Amino acid sequence: MAWPQAAQRLSVKRGTLVCGVMFALVVSSARMLAAQNDVESEIPVKRADSASDSDIRLPTPTGCVAAIPPARMHSVPVFLRAFMPEHPDSPLKPQADLLAQDVATEFRRLLGAVGSTVPNADTSFVWYSVPTQLTLMSHRNGDLIARPIGTGGDSSATLMLVRAFEAVRASGGALVGYPGGFVDDSAPIYLALWPDYVGSAPEMVSPGATMRKFAVFTLREPDESPAYPLPNQRPPRYPSENELSRAEGSVLMEFVVDTMGRADRATIHELWPAGTPPLHGYGTDSHEAFVQSVTSWLREIRFSPMRIGECAVKQRVQLPLEFRVP
């Protein structure tokens, strides 16, 4: 079973093949759940190819993270990208890219830049102002309805993104024309401001796809390292009850790694990909055995927790695993 990867989710993968079990850590786009322990352990079950506003919006840091010194930060570029996860191969994507380019140009102008100069925004925004996103719903009749993500943390970059979009629309831009072969009457477009974090891995995109991004400003961001499993730990066990049938399969788990490097037991659950019907009948028991094996394994293993600067923070992660007969 193939698990889809959300186009708007930035990922970091560490993979290895041990005893017939392939596993890779996929880090969600939100860089942290909250500073220190200021986070609710329970998280909702979400589809594997979905992303919500909470995946993007960073909370206001507290404790150790709030006191990260400038010496632990580096200036990084922040880009504007247009995503269409519901229609990754849409003929509207080139128009969405042009819209992102126009909005990025206007954003730079609002920051006082001249021409194609990329301004420094350290005096305008704080590091947790980004990433942020503007959701646009385009309609065949020409309407383009904008909705910024909810407030929380610092909204200064969000508000300027809205101003830049509205300025482009007022000048006669922000037009998305529907070609004859496009059957839907509406389609969402996400305009997202994403920093290129220090040490981050490139985005995962479909083979042959092009990810266009437009430089908007630079901003000082703290060093970051994602949560990852510590080495030399046993992999999940192949379930003994599946040995007779020699079943193979995949599971995708989501959970929170706490500041001590443990998977928070209350948050461990399986994700199921959108568009894939639930299992019924044959194969259900073997799949559940795989899920139970991974759940038990996650309760035992240790992780290096995510760090922002030198501060350990909680992080929601996704872990896809494939069980293969040795």
Same domain, 112 and 176: yes
| Residue ending a domain, choose from 196, 222, 248 | 222
> What is the value of pTM for the model shown?
0.69
Residue 111 sits in the same domain as residue 238: no
Does 278 lie in the same domain as 233? yes
3 inside domain? no
Q: Residue 288 phi/psi, 5° resolution?
A: -65, -35
Same domain, 59 and 174: no
Residue 34 lies in a domain: yes
**Residues 78 and 217 occupy one common structural domain:** yes
Q: DSSP assignment, residue 62? A: -
Has residue 6 been placed in a domain? Answer: no
What mean pLDDT comes out for the span 82-109? 87
Which range among 85-99, 216-230, 294-308 shows the weakest confidence by mean pLDDT?
A: 85-99
Helix, strand, or coil (residue 21): strand
Per the domain annotation, does 274 fall within a domain? yes
Q: What is d(CA 86, CA 88) in angstroms, rounded to the nearest whole number?
A: 6
- 106, pLDDT greater than 80: yes
State the pLDDT at residue 81.
92
Residues 152 and 205 in one domain: yes
- Rounded distance between C-alpha atoms, residue 3 and residue 200, angstroms: 22
Inter-axis angle of helices 93-110 and 156-170, nearest 10: 110
How much is the average pLDDT of 155-175?
91
Number of domains the chain contains:
2
Kindly indicate the confidence band of residue 151, based on its pLDDT and cuts at 50, 70 and 90. low
Domain residues for the domain of 247 are 15-68+225-323
Q: Examine the domain organization and report whether 112 and 208 are in the same domain.
A: yes
Weakest-pLDDT range from 66-70, 169-173, 176-180, 204-208? 204-208
pLDDT exceeds 90 at position 5? no
| 119 confidence band (pLDDT: 50, 70, 90) | very high
Exposure letters 232-253 (e unless 16+ CB within 10 A, then b): eeebbebbeebeeeebebbbbb
Average of per-residue pLDDT across 76-104: 87
Query: Do residues 49 and 86 make contact, with C-beta atoms less than 8 angstroms apart?
Result: no
- pLDDT tens digits for range 233-276: 998 999 998 888 888 888 999 999 999 999 999 999 998 766 67
26 within a domain of the structure (yes/no): yes
